[in-house]
Amino acid sequence: MDKAEIINRLRAHKDALGRAGVEHLAIFGSRARGDNRPDSDLDVMLDVVENNKFSLLDLIGIEHLISDATGLQTNAQLRRSIQGDFARTIADDMTRIF
């Protein structure tokens, strides 16, 4: 699946992701750069609604929702937990979905 198809599928699920507490979503990593292998996972970064109680189970649920939408194993990260060298490394790859 190419980057454009991933973006289209994620945008088609914006309402469901919003109900799950996702305010903003971006992809990064090999699928965002376009140098992925067929078995590469999908790396996503998300912002959640500030006043929303959000747990690890919620994050796992979002990963499953995205995996179901794309057919790709998903690794989700909260933007607020990404810092330092890792944040600088992924900044160039980042593609905002919504």
The tokens describing 72, both together, are 């790709």
Is 52's pLDDT higher than 80? no
Is 54's pLDDT higher than 90? no
Of residues 73, 94, 69, 90, the one with CA closest to residue 8: 69
Give the distance from CA 18 to its chain's centroid: 13
Mean pLDDT computed over every residue of the chain: 95
pLDDT of residue 9: 98
Angstrom distance (rounded) from CA 40 to CA 30: 7
Fold for domain 3-96?
Beta Polymerase; domain 2 (3.30.460)
Domain residues of the chain, as ranges? 3-96
Q: What is the pLDDT of residues 59-97, one digit of tens each?
A: 999 999 999 999 999 999 999 999 899 999 999 999 999
Q: What percent of the chain has pLDDT over 70?
A: 99
